[in-house]
Copies of this chain bind each other. A is one copy, B any other.
């Protein structure tokens, strides 16, 4: 059984005398490890290490700070299979999905390797005769990320490479459910050559979270998780005067127009709704057909749902893996039942799924909730499982109105061949990530991961220049150097 350690000040540390939680392979039900639940003292040690490393790291020129990131990029590439396997065995997703996740992680490292360009400040000559003004971006100090279970290898990389490339020192708290990928990644970080204390990891749960939110030395917090925890993190960190961004849940709509390429729409929407067993904040969660799109799409998507191959993610040909836990499986099944009780039919029903050979696995097959009602509770509830609701309207205006009636705003997608429909949609729909003939509108690493409404609290987002802005503070300098002073020479 793997030992899960903290990584503090360049050392692997085993927290003593703390509770732990089991890490279970969702496909097999086997216990893989125990995550120690670090207490405030362990967080304190990590903060101290990060704070001690900060002054020298901040003084390291940016093009030297990116050198270990270039090495880390290479190491992540060469060790992708090992990390991905750990992701599959802890999160339940397929091996292909795990590798795709790591590709995204690496892209963020690559973007952060361009930090010398991104970190530039500004300068203006002669704001008054002989007086210049400049703005310089300086790092904050110690910053931290609280990561969720669904992308254990990727989400820390929305922040980590930007945080350290800009000169901060950093602490990550992985999800206690999926600590394994970051164990491997920190081994690579160790090889990449970061000075001790620049990158730190503390495993744990609620107490560790609160310790980070409350510690006066931690200058900024990034969080990804459910909306209610996101709001908690946002307001608690703010009450402590911190800079904070907190990304929450989603209930992402997709609109299918009658002029869509229906075959493509079915395939992509199925991938979006059932990929990663629906446990993605960008997963399409409900589809609304417009006018004549209805029949062909509904038939197609039911077929796609019914035939998706479900199983252990390491097995060849498996298209969808397990959900994260038995509790999650139970919750998803309850929500399907709720949907049915609220008037939806269930033409494809994943409740009670048992995969032969993996009877202890937490599997839920793809499920369709047909004719979900806009007044139903299930329509407003994030299921975080492989369940796609279907609705129908007559016009694109109705469809957009329905999308905008949701309190979440993480993603919205449209399938159409019409330039006008696409433009109207992206102009009017209230979500931060928009897909046109795209199922998972995940922004590239050089764009912000841009949630809206209850899917995001804060102003600057993950990835790209938003991350640079978030992890730096601006210093404005006004300088007067009278040329008269040179007369004395």
Contacts and interface: CB of A to CB of B under 8 A. Distances in A.
A433 interface: yes
A125 B135 contact: no
A54 to B, nearest CB: 12
Contacts of A135: 123, 443, 447-448, 450
A223 B92 CA distance: 46
Contact of A475 (B73, B111, B432, B484): B432
Identical copies in the complex: 4
A1 interface: no
Contacts of A449: 476
A221 to B, nearest CB: 12
A44 interface: no
Interface stretch (A295-303, A358-366, A380-388, A461-469): A461-469
Contacts of A397: 486
A489 to B, nearest CB: 6
Contact of A481 (B131, B422, B448, B487): B422
Contacts of A445: 116
Interface string A455-489: 00111110011100110011111111111111101
Given A125-B136, A424-B481, A63 B110 contact: yes
A431 B473 CA distance: 10
B136 A432 contact: no
A477 B436 CA distance: 7
Interface residues of A, number: 111
A373 interface: no
Contacts of A420: 417, 481-486
Contacts of A422: 419, 479, 481
A329 interface: no
A135 B134 CA distance: 11
A426 interface: yes
Interface stretch (A256-264, A309-317, A349-357): A256-264
Give the residue among A126, A128, A138 with the most B Cβ atoms within 10 A: A126
A159 interface: no
Contact of A235 (B238, B257, B258, B438): B238
User: Across chains A and B, which 3 residue pairs bring their CB atoms closest together, nearest first?
Assistant: A114-B114, A238-B238, A423-B481
29 contacts: A63-B107, A63-B127, A63-B444, A70-B73, A116-B446, A120-B124, A120-B446, A121-B122, A121-B124, A122-B447, A127-B444, A130-B423, A131-B438, A132-B423, A135-B447, A234-B238, A238-B239, A261-B482, A264-B482, A422-B481, A423-B481, A423-B483, A433-B478, A435-B477, A435-B479, A437-B482, A450-B474, A459-B459, A459-B460
